[in-house]
Every structure is written in structure tokens, then in C-alpha cells.
Amino acid sequence: MKYYAYHLSMTEDDLQGATIALIPGAPERVVTIAQEFGSYQEIAFHREYRSVIADDGKHRILVVSSGIGGPSLAITIEELARLGIKIFIRVGTCGAIQDFIQVGDLIISEGAVRMDGTSEHYAPISFPACADFTVITALNQATKQLGYNFHSGITCTSATFYPGQERYDTYTHYVIRSLQGSFEEWKKLGILNYEMEVATLFTLARVFQLKAGAVCGVIVNRNQKEDVNLEMLQEVEKRLSRVAVNAAKILLSQMDTTQLS
Ligand code: URA
């Protein structure tokens, strides 16, 4: 019997041959990304998982939202892998840790600190969370071609938006002792940014021996006042969509010439 992905609410036939998935967190970003690729068709929308097939006349890709955080992203990757997806690209937003990173810049993650929690159900914490080299290269190339400012390096993936990213603007204004000072420490260690899904994606993809990469747009710099500007957010979403789609096209053309399988 054909596998039915319960949470994503689809079967292999719904993928129409797509083997690359672009994965934003937010369902509303799915269509923005798909439109950048070509014509699109929504194939499922169950809970936080909205899935659209985009077609540029030559290739098809899947764009699917993962929701926020490791647990819901892990469900996405599990089910997509079983359906036949081979390359996963997270397309998200993040907070910058380093002073030299500007709001609007893009971060291409080479690896991630595994503070996500979820990935420990797949591999011991000593297992590295690193991206696939061909996917990193395609993302770097796409970002350079588009002329956007970007940084490549290590991301910190946190299981929480507030205490795990050492935010004190919370109900209790308290961060547990083990996390106090963590922001300064990651900064000293050269970590570029905080977000909530990359380490889970990289760990699962490696464990499954599939390929993954991630590009995140900077919406706040944590060394400055946290003021999310709506116009900048829309600009970041536009940049992210273009980079992710162009990177997918680079990878697809490599598949056509069998450099990549
Ligand atoms: N997403 C995060 O997880 N942290 C931020 O600061 C911004 C986006």
C-alpha cells in the first residue's frame, strides 16, 4: 500500500516528481516562494503544514511550511524523506548575534549548535549538525548573483525563542542560570545567529544520508533594540525567496547534468 504522510496529508503522487523541498516556517510564506519559481498549485494544508508544488515549465519543486521549532520540523523532514524528497532547504528568519551583521543581511548556515533538543532523539549530541557542501555552494552562488549581503558560518538553533536565546523581555524576566551569559559566549565563539530549526534539519538530513542547507534573513540584531520593521521584513522575505529559488534552480541544473543525484 502507498505511504500516506499523515501530518503533511499527501502521498508520493502529490509530489509530481519533485525531489527538492524549500521549507519556510510560516504557511503564508509558502506562496511567496512558490510564485518566485513559477506557476503553483496547493496540494495540502493540514495544521501548520501547507504544501505547494511550483513549476517553472522545466522542473517542479515542493514548497512546504514546517511551523516553528524542532518538533514540527522533524515531522516535516521524516514525512518528506519517506515521500522521496532528497534535498531540503530551510528558508527562515533569524536574529543576528554578531555586531557586524546588519538587519536585511542573509545568513547561510554551514553548521549549527544543537540546542534544539529534538535532534537528540535522532543522534547523540556529539554528532555534528552540518549542511551539505553542494547545497551551501548553490546558496552562496545564488546570493552572490543577486548581489545581497550575506555571511556563511555557524548558527545557534534554540528550542525556545525566549530563554534559549537569552531574552529577558518575558513574563518572569528570568533566564535560568545555565543560559545566563550564553549570548555573550556564542558571540565570543563566532556564532552568527539564532533561529529555531536549522540544527534539527541538518542532523536529520545527515542521519538519513540526504542533503540539506539553510538560508535565513536577519530581522533583528540582538546587540541593538529589537524593533521588527514591517517593510524590512517584507524585503527580507523577497530576498529569501529569490535566493532559495535560484539555489534550487542551480541544484536542478546540476541534477540535469548528473553532477548531483
Ligand atoms: N527567529 C528566532 O528564532 N530568533 C530571532 O531573533 C528572530 C527570528
pLDDT tens-digit readout, 34-86: 999 999 999 999 999 999 999 999 999 999 999 999 999 999 999 999 999 99
Q: Show me where the domains of the chain are located.
A: 4-260
Ligand 1 atom showing the smallest separation from residue 226 Cα: 6
Q: What is the pLDDT of residues 153-204, one digit of tens each?
A: 999 999 999 999 999 999 999 999 999 999 999 999 999 999 999 999 999 9
Q: Which three cell numbers stand for residue 246?
A: 535560484
Given CA atoms 213, 135, 81, 236 in this order, what sign does their dihedral have?
Answer: positive
Q: Which of 161, 197, 233 should be mutated for ligand 1, with most atoms under 8 A from CB?
A: 161
Residue tagged 511567496 (cell numbers):
32
Element of type H or E holding 44: strand 39-46
Q: Residue 29 forms beta bridges with which residues?
A: none
Q: What is the pTM of this model?
A: 0.97
Pair 11, 62: CB distance under 8 Å: no
Instruction: Tell me the one-letter amino acid at 27.
Output: P
pLDDT of the residue at 29? 97
Catalytic residues: 7, 79, 167, 222
CATH number listed for the domain at residues 4-260:
3.40.50.1580
* 81 DSSP 8-state letter: H
Pocket of ligand 1 (CB under 6 A): 93-95, 161, 165, 194-196, 219-220
Binned at pLDDT 50, 70 and 90, residue 228 comes out as confident
Going by alpha carbons, the residue nearest to atom 2 of ligand 1 is 195
Those residues whose C-beta lies under 8 Å from the C-beta of residue 147, and which sit 6 or more positions away, are: none
Distance of CA 141 to the CA centre of its chain: 17
